[in-house]
Structure 1
Amino acid sequence: MYSVLSCIVGQHNVWLVGLASLVCLAGVGVTLSLLHRAATTGGLQRYGWNFLTGVAAGAAIWCTHFIAMLAYNPGVPVTFMPVLTVVSLLVAVTGAGLGFAFATSGLTSAAPVIGGSAVGLAVAAMHYTGMLAYRIDGIVAWDETYLLTSIALSIIFAGAATRSALRADTMTGHLSAAALFVVAIVSLHFTGMTALQITPLNGAVEVADDPSTAMALAVAGMALVIIGAGISSYLIDDRARYDSYQRLQHMALHDPLTGLPNRTSFTNYLEFELDRAEGAKRKVAVLEIDLDRFKEVNDLRGHQAGDEVLKVIADRMSNLLREGEMVARVGGDEFTAVKTFIDPVTLVEFLERLQKVIFEPIEISDFEVSIGASIGVAIYPDDARDRENLLSNADLAMYRAKASATEDICFYESSMDERVRARRVLASDLRDAVKKNELSLHYQVQTSISTGEVIGYEALLRWHHPVRGAVPPVEFIPIAEETGLILELGEWVLKTACAAAAKWSQPLKIAINLSPVQFIHSDLPKLVEDALKESGLDAKRLELELTESTIVENKERTLAILQKIKELGVSIALDDFGTGYSSLETLRSFPFDKIKLDRCFMQDIEVSPQSKAIIRAVLALGKSLSIPILAEGIETNCQFMILKDEGCDAAQGYYIGRPGPSISIETEQEDLLTA
């Protein structure tokens, strides 16, 4: 150790040693930054960063060595062989590049240590290659102990430095790695120089060191240029990464079409405003905005025109915003807005500004469109004290505005909007009803009026809610049709009823109601065919019922589907006849197998001559068309006898038999046959 210190103090120019140290520190700092970037990238980018790391590290190591060599004063004239000097530079750059490339490869958990040790070996190779280029007027000898020690120190400290650099996640770790790299370079050089022993030749004359100083400054300048290039590359990439991050951040929080904040950004902003308003005297209004007539633009002018409309409206709303106001796009033609206020007048003024820019005509290319909007408003803390309920209440108010013929803006009112919420909850529960085995079928008997014989049963869907109990069909069927759940329910009813009827002891008919929604899907005949095949039920025993309104909605399509079903051998009945659109044209357009007279005519048949006359006319119509008539809603013996006297074919109602579960069908049938 004393010999090394003596070498540093006694045989080196302290100023040049200081310069070499500055170059070394700067080079190590840049090298570690580039190494970290190489470790955090992949693919071709990693190769590029490893190359820059090798160049910066090799140049810094070589320049440190060369300046320190120029600082060394052997007491005799010296020269440098150009070829070997250049070779030593190449050894440093190549060795450092390959070592760091392996260190960042991830091939093994020991890769950082192995790669770093290779860098240390490259530093030693560079040093002693440079020493071969060092020509002295004297006899050179080497102390093997110091020589081997210098190589070992370089390998050990460089390996430790690389490991620390690639695993450090704190400033202390990075500083430790830098210190270890500096120790690796410095310990190699000065321990190696201590190993050098020179005996001057007779007549050798010591030369001045001014040229050495100038050369050292030139080398330092070159080193700083290379290091500066490395720093510039790092900073340029860092800026590019920052810009890229900013773009990604903007994309993540903004709608790409309109540039407005998206749902995520809106949620964050609303949470912030609610937190600020809590405990203060401010209120926060949430607005749900749904554009009207926007679908018409898409259908008539195309989606590109629709996009232009959205951009114009978004731009208009953005330009009207003031402090405490925000607008976001959260869906196709759906926007949300936030308004923080103390005076309700400012909220009304904000709504007026929004309404004005949305309803103002929009000119696009060669046409003009007018877009309206339905706006629902909910206010914190009056209508809700948390984000989810506030948004939900604003949404309910918006749907009320959409359903209104006179109001474009509706404020949340619990008395009116909670009914809608209850329907939504019921719809949500209905989605799980099939899976949870909450649905069942009840069967109501149909009899021949003339003989009293059972001719079939109508399958009626029942829902037993785990909390609400029995939910009337009049409540959940419309919800199922609105939400499209009727398709799943209808399939379940069809397959379940067919399977049950196939097991009955007598070949009675099973009647099943069809919803208008089911006719929207052209696969209904296939569904019926599959239900018959799976259950083994004879098609002649299946009777499907539909109302006349179903036919009127899309007559051509519906009749085509009915024809395919009838070709399977299935009977088709016209349900609820006498209500709605009842007309002779409907009876003429399709060969129905049965007409079901609506229950409303049974209510006052006993006292109303008009009702009796209508029933008589319908029965006469059925006979003239050879279509049997079944009367629904028979609740008294008097009603039954009137129908019998008028010659009605069949009856169904509480007087005949109440709906019951499938397990009681056989017993009920036997009772009716013996009655």
Structure 2
Amino acid sequence: MIFDKLLRIGFPALCASLTLLLGVNAYSLYSAQADYVHKDQLERSVLNDTLRFNTTALEKLIARYSALKSPEDAAEAGKTYEALLNAFETWPSDAYSEIVGPSDYIQDKLVHIVRTSNRVKPFLDTLNDQTSVSNALIILQGIGSSLQQINQMVTQEAAKQMSAARKSFHFHQIVQDVLVVVFLLVSLGWIWFSNKRSQVLQGQAEATREQTRLLEHRLDHDSVTGLVNSRVFAEIVRSAHDTLAPDQTLSILNIDLESRLPAINKFSLVTEEAILASTADLLRHAVDRMEGVNCLARSGGKGFLLMTVSDEEVGLTASVVANRIHDIFLRPVPTALGSFLISPAIGYADSTTVDRDATDIIRNADLAVGNAVSYSRRRVVTYQPAMRAEMERRTIVENALARAIEANECLPHFQPQFNLMTGRIFGVEALARWYHSELGWISPSEFIPIAERNGDIVSLGWKILETSCSEVQLLPSDLSLSVNLSVAQILSDDVVAMLDECLGRTGLPASRLKLEVTETTLMSDLRRIQTTLVELRSLGIGISLDDFGVGYSALSYLTDFDWDEIKIDRSFATKAVKDKKIRDILKMVLGIAETMGSQVLIEGIETVEQRDVLVDIGCTIGQGYLFGGPMAIDDITTLFFSDHSKSTLAGL
């Protein structure tokens, strides 16, 4: 900043000022020199006039004539007298006038001298008379004294003016020298500062180049692993594909760690990055030992991409490379924060699966690893054309889902819930169903995960809830309605107000509604969700723990909240027939529920044998395809309430 101001403003302004001063002083110096020369000429002229205007020579001639009586002296005295009178006619000269200016004193003196000089002539004609000589000398001495006074006054003034002109000339010379020196110093300073500024700018340019290089490196490389990113990787793949020989095969491996890394809520992000960095080092070491052209990169997610080029004689096939990499993870990955056992999903594809676009190989590898992740495969998966068809269908479903929700194409179907002891229907569970005009019925297992990923689950959930609350009022008033509540819905800040508004709008009593919450929902934010559930219960709504016994089941979930209902996962109904341990577990859960004042409903009852075993254990209510699957509200009415009375299944 200081350099910039000095170079842009300070030095230019200073040099300009000095240049102006040098110009002004140079003009003054020239004027002072001219004045000095002129004053010198005036002084010389005055000195010459001093020699001209004096009576000394005439006095000497008269005195010598008086002594020697030489006629030549008398004649010469006459000539000198005439010359003196002629000189008086041009006196005072211009030099005198310029030096002393108009002077009445000198003018009076001149008149007096000229008048007195005229008195000398008669005596010069009679020099033979000693009295004439004496009188002439006396008059001339008086004239000489007056001339001496005038000459002395003028020469002193001329000397004074000459001294002043000389001092002025010397002053301006000194000023000019000083200005020149200062100008040179400023110029040198400007050059020095310019050089320093140039060095600073060079340093800044170098720093900028370094920053640009670092920025380009950051744009092209992953900050955690130091590997090139997916964008640069795609360019490398495209270039390699364009130069691929006929006998060569380009393969892409996608090594996905997304679902294999430790959960962030248990480990910090630093731990995750340490694992990724150590994994990158392991993969580098493995790739460096491979023959042929290879490129390792960080993928857009939490994983890695590997390109290999092999031919018929040199290099390994993608299958061999993928399995070797898979074997690397048979042992824990060592990091500075500990060792972690990770089993990644690996998918690969090669250039034989595409015609022209090299990036399709990367997409195919993505599809292969996506297939491995979706089906929880911990092995190497190769790309199959069917995967693309599956992806295209998923894209179509995803694009159509939002429009389907808005157009009320996603509607609730109701699965009946029965009292296993009496065979009477006591409630229904609302389940989302979607019929697409072109694709037909789309399974909830297909569109629900899509809705959860793209955020449509909230609008879908509220749509199903409100429609269910309206339609269930077509059934007898003592039947309850169970509806699933998603994580996204329950974590909404206005969930309680929205449910209260929904009940008011549809007219369904809160006592008929039960909201089902899964254990995985509770794991998202246990304390916050429990607080929300308490607020919902204060409205009169029942709260049900859904799918208990699967995944991360823990008894703490049973005891940390006063559940109105506990729904046992369908897997228990199947296993309870042959597995005594399962039956004992069910008895334990029934005991805990009874202690807590909760009822237990078991799902997935499909056979009479299963029902009988569960009844023997003590289960009193349940649902499953033995009693009926999800169906439209009209089918529920037709099957169970055609005579507007509660139907029984006593004959089962």
TM-score, normalization by structure 1: 0.53
The reply on whether 1:247 has 2:140 as its aligned counterpart is no
Could you tell me which of 607, 622, 628 is aligned with 1:601? 607
Quickly say closer, same or farther: Cα 1:427–1:366, change in 2 above 3 A. Answer: closer
8 Å contact from structure 1 (residues 397, 410) kept in 2: yes
Amino acid at match of 2:24: L
Quickly say closer, same or farther: Cα 1:585–1:422, change in 2 above 3 A. Answer: farther
Deviation at 1:439, TM superposition (A): 0.8
Could you tell me which of 285, 294, 304 is aligned with 1:325? 294
2:280 is matched with which residue? 314
State how far apart, in whole Å, the 2-side matches of 1:521 and 1:261 are. 38
Deviation at 1:464, TM superposition (A): 2.2
Say which SS state the counterpart of residue 441 (structure 1) adopts: strand
Say which SS state the counterpart of residue 337 (structure 1) adopts: strand
8 Å contact from structure 1 (residues 544, 572) kept in 2: no
The reply on whether 1:295 has 2:264 as its aligned counterpart is no
Amino acid at match of 2:14: V
Amino acid at match of 2:315: T
Quickly say closer, same or farther: Cα 1:455–1:225, change in 2 above 3 A. Answer: closer
Once the two structures are superposed, what CA deviation does each residue of 1:386-408 show, in whole Å capped at 9, x if it has no partner?
Answer: 35543332123224555789974
Say which SS state the counterpart of residue 326 (structure 1) adopts: strand
Structure 1 runs not aligned, ≥5 long: 1-44, 59-89, 93-122, 142-199, 603-610, 635-651
Q: 1:453-492, aligned counterparts within 5 Å?
A: 457-473=428-444, 475-476=446-447, 489-492=460-463
Amino acid at match of 1:379: D
Q: 1:589-628, aligned counterparts within 5 Å?
A: 589-591=592-594, 593=599, 595=601, 598=604, 600-601=606-607, 611=609, 615-616=611-612, 618-619=614-615, 627=620
Deviation at 1:336, TM superposition (A): 1.2
Amino acid at match of 2:439: R
Once the two structures are superposed, what CA deviation does each residue of 1:174-209 show, in whole Å capped at 9, x if it has no partner?
Answer: xxxxxxxxxxxxxxxxxxxxxxxxxx99xx9xx9xx
The reply on whether 1:285 has 2:245 as its aligned counterpart is no
Deviation at 1:334, TM superposition (A): 0.8
8 Å contact from structure 1 (residues 519, 561) kept in 2: no
The reply on whether 1:659 has 2:623 as its aligned counterpart is no
Deviation at 1:667, TM superposition (A): 8.7
Query: How many matched pairs?
Result: 460
Amino acid at match of 2:632: G
Amino acid at match of 1:600: E
State how far apart, in whole Å, the 2-side matches of 1:549 and 1:446 are. 15
Quickly say closer, same or farther: Cα 1:305–1:280, change in 2 above 3 A. Answer: same
Structure 2 runs not aligned, ≥5 long: 35-164, 517-543, 576-581, 648-652
Quickly say closer, same or farther: Cα 1:378–1:49, change in 2 above 3 A. Answer: farther
Amino acid at match of 1:54: I
Quickly say closer, same or farther: Cα 1:381–1:620, change in 2 above 3 A. Answer: closer
The reply on whether 1:579 has 2:574 as its aligned counterpart is yes
1:131 is matched with which residue? 23
1:496 is matched with which residue? 467
2:349 is matched with which residue? 378
Deviation at 1:326, TM superposition (A): 1.6
State how far apart, in whole Å, the 2-side matches of 1:353 and 1:448 are. 56
Say which SS state the counterpart of residue 386 (structure 1) adopts: coil
Could you tell me which of 385, 396, 399 is aligned with 2:367? 396
Deviation at 1:129, TM superposition (A): 2.3
8 Å contact from structure 1 (residues 378, 393) kept in 2: yes
Say which SS state the counterpart of residue 228 (structure 1) adopts: helix
Q: 1:153-552, aligned counterparts within 5 Å?
A: 224-277=191-244, 282-291=248-257, 295-296=261-262, 303-318=269-284, 320-321=287-288, 324-331=293-300, 333-343=302-312, 346-348=315-317, 351=322, 354=325, 363-364=334-335, 368-369=339-340, 371-383=342-354, 385-386=356-357, 389-401=360-372, 408-415=379-386, 418-419=389-390, 422-423=393-394, 426=397, 429-430=400-401, 433-443=404-414, 457-473=428-444, 475-476=446-447, 489-501=460-472, 504=474, 507-512=477-482, 514=484, 532=503, 535-543=506-514, 549-552=547-550
1:563 is matched with which residue? 562
Once the two structures are superposed, what CA deviation does each residue of 1:141-164 show, in whole Å capped at 9, x if it has no partner?
Answer: 9xxxxxxxxxxxxxxxxxxxxxxx
TM-score, normalization by structure 2: 0.55
Say which SS state the counterpart of residue 217 (structure 2) adopts: helix
Amino acid at match of 2:548: T
Amino acid at match of 1:507: S
8 Å contact from structure 1 (residues 378, 397) kept in 2: yes
Amino acid at match of 2:251: A
Structure 1 range deviating more: 128-137 or 426-435: 426-435
8 Å contact from structure 2 (residues 254, 346) kept in 1: yes
Once the two structures are superposed, what CA deviation does each residue of 1:115-161 show, in whole Å capped at 9, x if it has no partner?
Answer: xxxxxxxx5x55432212325344799xxxxxxxxxxxxxxxxxxxx
Quickly say closer, same or farther: Cα 1:129–1:631, change in 2 above 3 A. Answer: closer
Quickly say closer, same or farther: Cα 1:354–1:512, change in 2 above 3 A. Answer: same
Quickly say closer, same or farther: Cα 1:492–1:387, change in 2 above 3 A. Answer: farther
**Largest Rg, 1 or 2:** 2
